[in-house]
Amino acid sequence: MSRIEQFQYDNKIVRAFGMASFIWSLVGMLVGLILAFDLIFPQLNLSESGIPYFTFGRLRPLHTNAVIFAFVGNGIFMGIYYSLQRLLKTRMFSDKLSWIHFWSWQVVILLAAYTLPMGFTTSSEYAELPWPVDLLITLVWVVFGINMFGTIIKRRESHIYVAIWFYIATWVTVAVLHIVRSFELPYSLFGSYTLFSGVQDALVQWWYGHNAVAFFLTTPYLGIMYYFMPKAANRPVYSYKLSIIHFWALIFIYIWAGPHHLLYSSLPDWVQSLGTVFSIMLIAPSWGGMLNGLLTLRGAWDRVRQDPVLKFMVVAVSAYGMATFEGPMLSVKSINAISHFTDWTIAHVHVGALGWNGFLTFGVLYWLWPRMYRTTLYSVKMANIHFWLGSLGIAFYAIPMYWAGWTQAMMWKEFTPEGTLVWGNFLDTVTQLIPLYAIRALGGTLFFVGTVVGVYNLFKTAAQGNFLANEAAEAPAREIGPATFTKGEYWHRWIEGRPMQMLLWSTLLISVGGIVQIIPMAFMESQVPKIASVKPYTPLELTGRDLYIREGCVGCHSQQVRPFRSETERYGEYSKSGEYIYDRPFLWGSKRTGPDLWREGGNKRTDSWHYNHMLDPTSTSPGSIMPSYAALLETDLDLSELPAKIGALRTLGTPYPEGFENEAIANAQAQAREVAKRLAEQDIKDQGIENKEIVALIAYLQRLGTDIKVEAAAKK
């Protein structure tokens, strides 16, 4: 027998991540609440007075990043750092790396909190952070990886438990996703253009975006569930076989499902269909986790009534089950045609985020805090209040959003018998939803108040307790080398004794889907039929496009007309993939709080209309909830980065002629004067308007989706 070794678990790092998680949860949810109220009271955007930093467009990515990467991210690390040490019977590989990991992750979050309101964004959802931050994230991930695999290598357990399988898959997949999504060419300190353009960029984006949900919000939390739920319930895991099958099936299938975010878009049909079928096949593997969690509670259900920890966990796992059934349903084309671009999606993601991630995090925190502080929970009653506020909050959030999504989709699609749109004025479909937005804001407030109660409870628990920074433990030493495998053991035990093989196989499995979908799209020209009349943006339009990105217009306006009668009647010809080949990044969007803008160009509305609309949206569209963009009329147009931008784009493949960067500024100024002249003809006679940002934005909007109209005109 090997000798017994003494060692200590590091609780301090767990506490640090835990505190970061619940503190950031308050910030992330507060920003979410502000956004919810923005939609009811547009004045709250504060932009009428010329402050550009707090508009819906700029704060929306801050909300999503804060919730995903700050709240859930720190929650993941809390769960992993606690469970990994105990499951492997060792302290973390290196305390120093643990703390580098902790602080650099908080720096990433602070940088996000600075860059996003400042308007530095790549506009790729959940990957909005500018390239230097991307580099820092890569560094953090490497540090985390070394620390985790170092710990695995020096483990005292011969086999690794299912939770750790999920941690390994999480680590490698997030690494792959982050690196590929960050293929971009910088042109300034915070500015860059994506390697892929148009439809390819869209595919890469939703391969990334969908799997950020899969491998940042789901797999690590399944791992956490597999540790904390049996612990809290003191019951054995229901089925080891189920763990095995659903783990491998989940990580293999999940990665294929990204294109379901692009149904009925310009993405080729075959990729869309793959997205649909793999989403449907995902139901069972996803539910495997829910089943194994809920069935583990067999024999402990009586305790679920009393123990707030289990209560939170049960609702979390149920919410997971609901969201992972709804997701595949939303991936069916006929349902997606209704749900997509509406608030239905918003409801769906919040069932996941508030229910699954939110409740599981607090379940774990309520279990962890008393243990690390060697005391009992300060107030069970308070935890119950938190539970009910949270549950009601989810209901009051999700139900009006489902209602809103359905309502809006039906209004978009309704025709009179004579063939005109009943709600031809898009605005009518927005103002209709405002009461529902108000109920949603109430739901958000309930959830937020619940969280405040929860955080207070945790602080009081800490105050009455006595923190155990280093927890003594002992375990027999492990012989170096892979675990022995005897015949007759279940086959999967073999790989459980070989974590590096597990890493290797996971990497292979999660690569397949991405390779099959992305490689043909990126390298086969036939996948994106060229359209001769589609030309690169002029320097001024390009500048306007970057302003559009800076302001986060994509948060509310799509640029993708789907092949539906209701959309071509409303907006114009449906989008073709060849139209987007110079779009770096693509700006198709995922939500239409406002109308689609892809066919906005070509003087559908006059320049003066856009001018007035940016100054005060309600002047041209009464009842509009769009924020004012008054600052665009005042801020000087900065063209200094244009040569670098043109150079970067040419490197990536946009056919600007050699030496065009030297003419770019003059070219932009000339076009700006033309816009100013047109504005003057339409009674907008501001002095020096040709030097303001508004002209660039107008030039871009008037260009949108017009290139194929040119072709149509030429044919005549």
Site residues for other proteins, window 562-601 (CB under 8 A)?
A: 563-565, 568-570, 574
* CA count, 13 A, side-chain hemisphere, 457: 27
Interacting residue with other proteins among 240, 301, 388, 467 (CB under 8 A): 240
Fill in the amino acid letter for 365.
L
Least separation in angstroms between CB 689 and other proteins: 17
Identified binder of other proteins from the candidate list 424, 435, 529, 653, rule CB under 8 A: 424
Does residue 248 belong to the site contacting other proteins (CB under 8 A)?
no
Task: Pick out residues in 69-88 that bind other proteins (CB under 8 A).
Answer: 83, 86-87
Q: Which of 154, 604, 650, 673 binds other proteins (CB under 8 A)?
A: 604
> Binding to other proteins by residue 358, rule CB under 8 A?
no
Q: What are phi and psi of 422, to 5 degrees?
A: -65, -40
Counting contacts by CB under 8 A, is residue 606 touching other proteins? yes
In angstroms, give the least distance from the CB of 580 to other proteins: 16
* 502 near other proteins, rule: CB under 8 A: no
Nearer to other proteins, 331 or 445 (CB): 331
> From residue 541, how far is each of 249, 264, 420, 639, 694 by CA, in Å?
46, 27, 33, 11, 11
Which residues ranging from 1 to 40 are in contact with other proteins (CB under 8 A)?
Answer: none
> Per the structure block, which two tokens stand in for 315?
């609702």
Task: Please return the burial class of 5, using the count of CB atoms within 10 Å of its CB with bins 0-12, 13-18 and 19+.
Answer: middle
Stretch that binds other proteins, among 195-203, 393-401, 409-417, 463-471 (CB under 8 A): 409-417
- Residue 298 binds other proteins, judged by CB under 8 A: yes
288 binds other proteins (CB under 8 A): yes
Q: How many CB atoms are closer than 10 A to CB 545?
A: 24
Return the number of the residue (249 or 449) whose C-beta is nearest other proteins: 249
> Which residues between 252 and 271 bind other proteins (CB under 8 A)?
264, 269-270
* Residue 81 contacts residue 98 (beta carbons within 8 Å): yes
CB of 89 to other proteins, least distance (A): 8
Site string for other proteins, 456-495 (x = CB under 8 A): ----------------------------------------
Whether 81 and 10 have beta carbons less than 8 Å apart is answered as yes
Q: Does 650 bind other proteins (CB under 8 A)?
A: no
- Looking at the Cβ atoms of 299 and 655, the one nearer to other proteins is 299
d(CA 395, CA 552): 29
**List 3, 419, 526, 659, residue binding other proteins (CB under 8 A):** 419
**Smallest distance, Å, CB 621 to other proteins?**
6
Asked if residue 416 binds other proteins (CB under 8 A), the reply is yes
Kindly report the length of the chain: 716
Q: What is the DSSP string of 661-678?
A: HHHHHHHHHHHHHHHHHH
237 lies in the site for other proteins, by CB under 8 A: yes
Handedness of CA 116, 122, 126, 130 (dihedral sign): negative
**Binding residue for other proteins, selected from 43, 603, 651, 662, defined by CB under 8 A:** 603
Q: Which two tokens stand for residue 593?
A: 């709080």
226: burial class by Cβ within 10 Å (0-12, 13-18, 19+)? Answer: buried
| Residues within window 88-107 making contact with other proteins, judged by CB under 8 A | 89
Neighbour-count burial of 543, counting CB atoms closer than 10 A to its CB (0-12 exposed, 13-18 middle, 19+ buried):
buried
Which DSSP string corresponds to 445-485? HHHHHHHHHHHHHHHHHHHHS---SEEEEEEE---SSSPP-
Q: Binding residue for other proteins (CB under 8 A) from 99, 136, 146, 159? A: 159
Q: Which helix (H) or strand (E) holds 253?
A: helix 240-254
Q: And the tokens for 546?
A: 């970057």
Residue 452 or 615: the one with the smaller Cβ distance to other proteins is 615
* Binding of other proteins by 432 (CB under 8 A): no
Please, which residue, 174 or 626, has the CB nearer to other proteins? 626
Instruction: Report, in Å, the least distance between residue 274 CB and other proteins.
Output: 8
**Minimal distance in Å, beta carbon 626 to other proteins?**
13
Q: Which of 682, 686, 709, 710 binds other proteins (CB under 8 A)?
A: 682
Runs of H (alpha helix) within 124-197: 131-153, 162-181
Segment lying near other proteins (by CB under 8 A), choices 113-121, 126-134, 167-175, 276-284: 276-284
Q: Looking at 284, 349, 385, 438, which residue binds other proteins (CB under 8 A)?
A: 284
Task: Give the residue with the Cβ less far from other proteins, 94 or 612.
Answer: 612
Q: Does 526 bind other proteins (CB under 8 A)?
A: no
Sort strands 184-186 and 470-476 into parallel, antiparallel or unpaired: unpaired
Residue choice 7, 183, 238, 459 for contact with other proteins (CB under 8 A): 238
The Cα 118–Cα 531 span in angstroms is 36
On the 0-12 / 13-18 / 19+ scale of CB atoms within 10 A, 685 is exposed
Which position among 190, 406, 415, 459 is part of the footprint of other proteins (CB under 8 A)?
A: 415
Number of residues that bind other proteins (CB under 8 A): 71
Residue 352 near residue 323 (C-beta atoms within 8 A): yes
Q: Residue 11 CB, nearest distance to other proteins (Å)?
A: 14
Q: Does 605 bind other proteins (CB under 8 A)?
A: yes
Residues from 316 through 345 that contact other proteins (CB under 8 A): 334
| 230 binds other proteins per the rule CB under 8 A | yes
- In the block, which residue shows the tokens 């108040």? 449
Q: How buried is 629 (Cβ within 10 angstroms: 0-12 exposed, 13-18 middle, 19+ buried)?
A: buried
Alpha carbons 716 and 697: distance in angstroms, whole number = 30
> Any contact of residue 210 with other proteins (CB under 8 A)?
no
Half-sphere exposure of 345 (CA within 13 A, CB side): 17
Contact status: 46 vs other proteins (CB under 8 A): no
CB atoms closer than 10 angstroms to residue 715: 7
CB of 658 to other proteins, least distance (A): 37
Q: Which is nearer to other proteins, 31 or 84 (CB)?
A: 84
Q: In this complex, which beta carbon is closest to other proteins, that of residue 622 or of residue 657?
A: 622
Kindly tell me which residue out of 376, 425, 484, 662 binds other proteins, with binding defined by CB under 8 A. Answer: 425
Q: Which one of 56, 141, 161, 216 is in contact with other proteins (CB under 8 A)?
A: 161
Check: CB of residue 368 under 8 Å from CB of residue 18: yes
Please check whether residue 347 is in contact with residue 405, taking contact to mean a CB–CB distance below 8 angstroms. yes
**Among positions 121, 218, 272, 506, the unique one binding other proteins when judged by CB under 8 A:** 272
Under a CB-based contact definition with an 8 Å cutoff, are residues 204 and 196 in contact?
yes
Q: In angstroms, what is the minimal distance from the CB of 535 to other proteins?
A: 22
- Taking the CA atoms of residue 399, residue 206, residue 21 and residue 370 in that order, the dihedral angle to the nearest 10 degrees is 70
Write down the least CB distance from residue 685 to other proteins, Å. 14
152 is written with which tokens?
């695995």
Is 429 near other proteins (CB under 8 A)?
A: no
Which of these segments, 101-109, 273-281, 368-376, 629-637, binds other proteins (CB under 8 A)?
Answer: 273-281
By the rule CB under 8 A, 221 interacts with other proteins? no
Yes or no: say if 121 and 192 are a contact pair by the CB < 8 Å rule: no
Q: Which stretch binds other proteins (CB under 8 A): 68-76, 546-554, 586-594, 604-612?
A: 604-612
Residue given tokens 């009329």 in the structure block: 633
| Nearest of 122, 138, 118 to residue 130 by alpha carbon | 122
